[in-house]
Structure 1
Amino acid sequence: MYKFNLLDKISLILVIIGALNWGLIGLFNFNLIGALLGEPVNLIGRIIYILVGAAGVDMLLLLLKMKKSFK
């Protein structure tokens, strides 16, 4: 079984935050990151979006690692 390291845990949290933000946008047309950091999204907001995207890539790689460990 694959053991989560610190980067994987941080990535999982960021992916959950990103998913919740997308859910709020879809359901209520409310951008939580934009509301917290100001609209239009400033530099800090863009960095958060980039980190969430990188976390998604890390979670995809984690999924592939886990798939290999189950074989």
Structure 2
Amino acid sequence: MKALDYTALTIAIIGAVNWGLVGIFRFDLIAALFGNMSWFSRLVYILVGLSGLYLLSLYGRIRNES
């Protein structure tokens, strides 16, 4: 479970950094690296979204550990 947590957290951080770049500089790093809405950039966006949804479960797990 920890490996999945760390993987999801890493992917979510990549997405957060990308959104920060979009908000501040209007620069989409994922689109610049992999093409605007190419199949790979869409895959990255999907993984970021799924990672964010998975990390919602972190709230429940933190509450249970307290």
What TM-score do you get using the length of structure 1 for normalisation? 0.86
Deviation at 1:68, TM superposition (A): 2.0
Name structure 2 gaps, 5 residues minimum: none
Distance 1:62 1:18 in 2: 18
Identity %: 42
Query: Aligned pairs, how many?
Result: 66
Q: CA RMSD in A?
A: 1.1
Name structure 1 gaps, 5 residues minimum: none
Larger radius of gyration: 1
What TM-score do you get using the length of structure 2 for normalisation? 0.92
* Greater RCO (Cα-Cα under 8 Å, separation 6 or more): 1
Q: Where does structure 1 differ by over 3 angstroms across 4 or more consecutive aligned residues?
A: none
